[in-house]
Amino acid sequence: MSIADTASASTPTGPTGTPRKRILQELERPGHIVSNLTPNWFASVMGTGVVAVAAASLPLQFPGLRTGATVVWSISAALLVALTVATGLHWLRYRSTAMTHHRHPVMAHFYGAPPMAFLTVGAGALLLGKDWIGLPAAVAVDWTLWTIGTLGGLITAVLVPSLAFSRHENGPAAAFGGWLMPVVPPMVSASTGALLLPYTPAGQARETLLWACYGLFGLSLVMSLVVITLIWNRLMQHQVGPAAFVPTLWIVLGPIGQSITAVNLLASNAPTAVDAGTAHALLVVALVYGFAMLGFGLAWTAIALTITVRTARRHLPFSLTWWSFTFPLGTCVTGLNGLALHSGLDAVGYLAVLYFAGLVTAWIVVATRTFHASVIRGTLLVPPAVH
């Protein structure tokens, strides 16, 4: 199956000429609104939640930013609840369809989206939601969502590659950014777990969580580097490919930005778990690793942006893969926020603000297009049978 075929299958939309009346009639049938629900819908939660999380620690804070970020977090939380319920209904009413997702060579990788959605909303609760629900409730919510997201992420990091190795048929040109989706969740767990260190009982429990987060960091980093190498190799030998493939190039920024975020957040909270000497060493590692990885991140941003602009000038069809423009940029913002804090360099802070501006712009565009395609036109929710 080619990238074009799989992209179409993973983000089905109605044909351009499909009458709106017919679409709405189909969606009015009981259960049809969840009949075509796929795991990649959770990318909308990730992309929305990361806007709030990125704003919470942005070096440039201004009046209204925190309130606006909290509102955005509440939207992501509502989306998470709605999609979780809808997914449960999908499995209940359309189990035979739901059971095909893990066998699909593209869709299976997007099972990494739900764990990251849970983790992102949980982090937002602790960073922003506490203003509305109180700190004790925020900590409880974050612990719950972190546990769900971490367990889910570990499962996807093991099972999805296992399926790809043994069940899926992938040709020489199959590698794409979506292959990173199931292996990045442990890195998100490392970042969000760092936020929970001050709220973990002191002693063995807190120190265990710290080093467990570094283990999650290493697990995801090694897997991500392998996949990024495969993506680079595909681009070198088979070029960019279909336009539908282009947005997923931005997913490469996900493990880059998230790894920088993880080492810096862990370094920030390490003093609560280990001795001063070890904490200082971890801070040095965070700075050295962060700036080294930042170089590659800037280069990949330029590459992805160049390819995206060139493709958009020709034609870049809208699909759910457009959410790839959001979460990866958000991880770059959170990573730069940490580097700016620890290095004290104004240039890094300005760069964080620049990436944040790009993130907000991308989120507004993608959220608007998703709302129009799913609610106004209804094409994103049309069951495959009515295409």
- For the domain that residue 379 is a member of, what is the CATH number? 1.50.10.150
Domain count, the chain: 1
H helix intervals, the chain: 3-10, 20-28, 32-35, 43-56, 65-93, 95-98, 113-124, 130-133, 135-166, 185-196, 204-238, 253-269, 276-314, 327-343, 346-371
Q: What pLDDT tens digit does each residue of the chain (387 aa) get?
A: 334 344 444 444 343 344 445 544 544 455 567 878 899 999 999 999 999 999 999 999 999 999 999 999 999 999 999 999 999 999 998 888 888 888 889 899 999 999 999 999 999 999 999 999 999 999 999 999 999 999 999 999 999 999 999 988 888 888 999 999 999 999 999 999 999 999 999 999 999 999 999 999 999 999 999 999 999 999 999 988 889 889 999 999 999 999 999 999 999 999 999 999 999 999 999 999 999 999 999 999 999 999 999 999 999 999 999 999 999 999 999 999 999 999 999 999 999 999 999 999 999 999 999 998 877 776 666 654 433
Residue 6 covered by a domain = no
Please state the separation of Cα 189 from the chain's center in Å. Answer: 12
pTM of this structure: 0.90
Cβ pair 76, 119 in contact under 8 A: no
Residue 8 covered by a domain = no
Q: Provide the domain limits for residue 218.
A: 19-386
Residue 318 covered by a domain = yes
Residue 351 covered by a domain = yes
List the structure tokens of 307: 């390819």
Residue 10 covered by a domain = no
Residue 12 covered by a domain = no
186 exposure class (CB count in 10 Å sphere: 0-12, 13-18, 19+): buried
DSSP state of 251: G
List the structure tokens of 8: 């179409």
CB atoms within 10 A of CB 60: 12
Residue 5 covered by a domain = no
Residue 275 covered by a domain = yes
